[in-house]
Amino acid sequence: MTDDRRAETAANLETVRERIAAACASAGRPADEVTLVVVTKFFPASDVRILADLGVRTVGENRYQEASAKAAECADLGLSWHFIGGIQSNKAASIAGFADVVESVDRVKLVGALDRGAEAAGRTVDCLVQVSLDPAGDGRGAAGRSGAGPDEIGAVAEAVAAAGSLRLRGLMAVAPLGEPARPAFERLAGIARDFRADHPAATWVSAGMSGDLEDAVACGATHVRIGSAVLGTRPLIK
For the segment 85-98, the average pLDDT, to the nearest whole number, is 97
**pTM score, two decimals?**
0.94
What CATH superfamily classification does 2-229 receive?
A: Alanine racemase (3.20.20.10)
- Measured distance CA(134)–CA(132) in Å, rounded: 6
Residue 221 and residue 133: Cα distance in Å, rounded? Answer: 14
142 pLDDT more than 90: no
Task: Locate the DSSP E strands across the chain.
Answer: 35-39, 58-61, 80-83, 101-105, 125-131, 166-173, 204-206, 223-226
Model pLDDT for residues 156-172, shown as the tens digit of each residue:
999 999 999 999 999 99
pLDDT for the residue numbered 234: 80
Which pLDDT value is given to residue 2?
84
pLDDT tens sequence across 25-36: 999 999 999 999
pLDDT score recorded for residue 135: 79
Quick check: 5 pLDDT over 50? yes
Domain ranges of the chain: 2-229
Give me the phi and psi of 172, to 5 degrees please.
-135, 145
Mean confidence (pLDDT) of the chain: 94
What pLDDT does residue 141 have? Answer: 43
At residue 64, what is the residue type? Answer: Y
Residue 143: which pLDDT band, with cuts at 50, 70 and 90?
very low
192-235: pLDDT as tens digits: 999 999 999 999 999 999 999 999 999 999 999 999 999 998 87
